[in-house]
Every structure is written in structure tokens, then in C-alpha cells.
Chain A
């Protein structure tokens, strides 16, 4: 039995190795040391939450931002259940949007993410998912703070 178990362990090691070897080193870096994993308080008015899914592969991605009074993203978190490329794309996305203003974050394109991670064509949709997640989080924040923004504009106007 012990022998069988060893064989099985060995097999899974080999399998893991081959599946990881297919990814670019930039993906593996984010996959093995994902940045900003976790959650922010969804009910916080300063937190925007984006939840998106990829219909073709069933990956699901949650990306959250925390915005200060000046409209700067001070914190970002993600939780992704999916392939290595999807995890890496969302990890990179949180890294990039941190410190950016809300309007700057809006301009992040999936092609930039894909380029940075050297994603192959079949994995481009993972970077699209990350871009969608950013957009969804920004939208959620905007809707939550719509009244304040209007007040502010009215006061300025």
C-alpha cells in the first residue's frame, strides 16, 4: 500500500510540474506569491466590489478597491477561483491600481495585463476578466457614492 501511495504522490508532483511549466515565469510569480489576496468590507461606503465570471471556463473573480476622500485607491484586494492566468491577472491588476486615482484605474487595459504576463492567445480572456473586474469595482464605488459626488459637484458649481 505504501508503495502505491508513493507512486501516487510522485504522479501528482509530476502533473503539477508539467502544468506549471506551461505558464510564463511572470504568471508563475503572481500565482505562487499572489499580491493582495483577501477581502475588504463590502458594506463600507468607500469600498467598491467587482464580481465577474468567465462563462466559457467557469472562473470567478472578485476584486475590491478602497478609495480615500481624494478619489485615490488606497487599497485593493482580490479573490479568484480559476486557472493560474486568471489568478495572476487579478493579482497584477490589484498591484497596478493601488495608488492610482479612480480615473487612472479606469484606463487599465486587458492588453497591458496580457503583455506584462505574456499570456498566450488562449488565455487572453483571463486578462479581459481582470479588466472587467476593475471596471465593475469602480462602477460599484461610483454608484455607492453617487449622491456625495453630486453634492460635491453642486457645491463646486
Chain B
């Protein structure tokens, strides 16, 4: 129940920096009205126990509005509402949310949900390097994302951010557009593929696959034999039909990994997710070799 607990719960699994504003909100809430209990049920969620409601990402603007609409008539929410109003008048901005940003050109405060890349005035903004790749595209930090949506957003952003569009603009704008476009590229590349997305998610949660972890994760000889066999058969394949047979088998393994991975992340079974991702890495390497081999076949 205490504000400090929330802070600990959040910072344990995520970077302390991203959640500092949340701790401050909690402290303010608890100090202002003890009848309002705020606790965390799971990471990334803020739960108001007296009202049985949850709030998503700790973005103060969004948080404030979420509370305001359905509970405005509830007297118990008076403190929250007061905070919302204060927030609206932007008197809390500096004290609560360190992530608030103003447009470097016109000075207007940015709505970070809508204006992460461009201010309403049309000017490209500085790179927000404190956001995760998920946050950058407005996704929840979860394994299952709408990849189609991701691609759409990526294409729109890259069209708008392309450095060619800034050749006539100021030096700052050119610099910012390059930074934003590089970041968007990197984020898209990471999120678009399940393997890299999963590995990134592990990294965010402090469980990255270390290079020297072979003693921990490299001993399943039956599995390694299977990988060896796939590679050898591919190496010896002389016709497209031979390659196709390896491809089909490898694809089936990858499919299996993907469905296991999705449920492992859903169940928050990090260690299992890690094991599956490691397997997927091997199958992906085989897949790369298949593509390379097919490309060579085409060239000949």
C-alpha cells in the first residue's frame, strides 16, 4: 500500500529512471488522501484498490484523464481529480513528470502520445532515447504485438522522417530527423521479428542471453544433433527439392517455437521463454543459410 513499495516493485524489473515519475505520483496520492490506496498488481500497472481500477503506462497526462472520465462524480476521487486539474494547468509538470517535453522551436508542451516525433507546429523533435522500442511505437511492453500495425506506422514515420525531406531545413532539424529516423529503423528492425523482439524483451527485463552462457544453456546434445543434422543436410543438398525438404522441416520447428514463445511470455515464464529463444536463434541461423543457398542457386 505504501508509496515506497510501489516504487520498489516497479524499479525491480524496469529501469529506475522510467518509473521515477510514478513513484512521485504515488507519494503525492498517499500524502494527499490516505483513503485512496494505490498499489501495483503487476509491473507497468497502477492499481487503485478502493475503486478496483487499473491504469496503464505511467504517463501522467493519460493517467489523469483515465481517472477523470468515469469517476468524476465519486467524492473519494477528489484528490485524484485535484491532481488532474493541477496537471491540466501544468503546474505539476515539473514536479511530477520528468518525461514531459516542450517543443524546442515553439516552446509548446508536447503531448507525448501524439507528438513524439513532430510538434503540432510541424517541427521535428529531438530523439526520445529514454523510451523503449515498444513505447516508441505506442505498444504495451508485451511479446504479442500487432505486427501489421507496426509496419504501417513504420512506413508512415519513415516517409515523414526521411532525411531527403529535410534538405532545405535548418541544421537542427536535419540532425533530429536523422536521429529519429535511425531510432525508428532500429526499433522496427528489433520489433518486427519475433526472435529479436523476444531477445529485446528479455534484455529489458534484465535476463539477456549472455555470450558465455553455454554452460547454462548449451548442453542439450539431442537438440544440437538436430541442428547439426539440418545444417549438414542443407550443406549436402544438391537440388531445390533437397533444400525445400530441409526448409519445410526447419519452418515447422520455428513455428513450434513461436507458439511456445507467445504462451511463455503470456504466462510470464521468463526462463522458458529464454530457452525457446535460444532454440529459435539456431533455427533462424539455419533459415539464413537456406536463404543464402537459394540465392546462390538462383544466381547460377
Contacts and interface: CB of A to CB of B under 8 A. Distances in A.
Interface of A: 5, 8-9, 12, 51-60, 62, 79, 81-82, 124-125, 128-129, 132
Contacts of B146: none
A53 B284 CA distance: 14
B299 A5 contact: yes
Given A51-B221, A54-B218, A79 B209 contact: no
A55 B227 contact: no
Contact of B281 (A12, A55, A124): A55
Given A51-B221, A81-B228, A56 B213 contact: yes
14 contacts: A5-B299, A51-B224, A51-B228, A53-B223, A53-B227, A53-B282, A54-B211, A54-B218, A57-B281, A58-B281, A60-B227, A81-B228, A82-B285, A125-B212
Contacts of A60: 224, 227-228, 231, 282
B225 interface: yes
B214 A79 contact: no
B33 interface: no
Given A5-B299, A125-B212, A53 B285 contact: no
Interface of B: 209-218, 221, 223-225, 227-228, 231-232, 278, 281-282, 284-285, 289, 299
| Chain A interface main SS type | mixed
Given A5-B299, A58-B281, A81-B289, A53 B232 contact: no
A101 to B, nearest CB: 25
B283 to A, nearest CB: 8
Contacts of B281: 55-58
* Majority secondary structure of chain B interface residues (helix, strand, loop or mixed): helix
Contacts of B282: 53, 58, 60
A127 to B, nearest CB: 11
B214 A58 contact: no
Nearest to B295: A12
Nearest to A123: B211
Contact of B284 (A52, A58, A59, A125): A58
Contacts of B285: 57-59, 81-82
B228 A52 contact: no
Contact of B224 (A12, A53, A57, A128): A53
Contact of A129 (B214, B217, B227): B214
Contact of B231 (A8, A54, A81, A129): A81
Contact of B218 (A55, A62, A79): A55
B206 to A, nearest CB: 16
Contacts of B223: 53
B214 A53 contact: yes
Contacts of B284: 58
A99 B153 CA distance: 61
Given A55-B217, A58-B282, A58-B285, 11 more contacts: A51-B224, A53-B227, A53-B282, A55-B214, A56-B213, A57-B285, A58-B278, A59-B285, A79-B232, A81-B231, A125-B211
B183 to A, nearest CB: 23
A52 B299 contact: no
A55 B231 contact: no
Closest 8 CB pairs of A and B: A58-B281, A58-B285, A55-B217, A81-B231, A125-B211, A58-B282, A56-B211, A55-B278
A52 B223 CA distance: 10
Contact of A52 (B211, B224, B289): B224
A132 B214 contact: yes
A128 B223 CA distance: 20
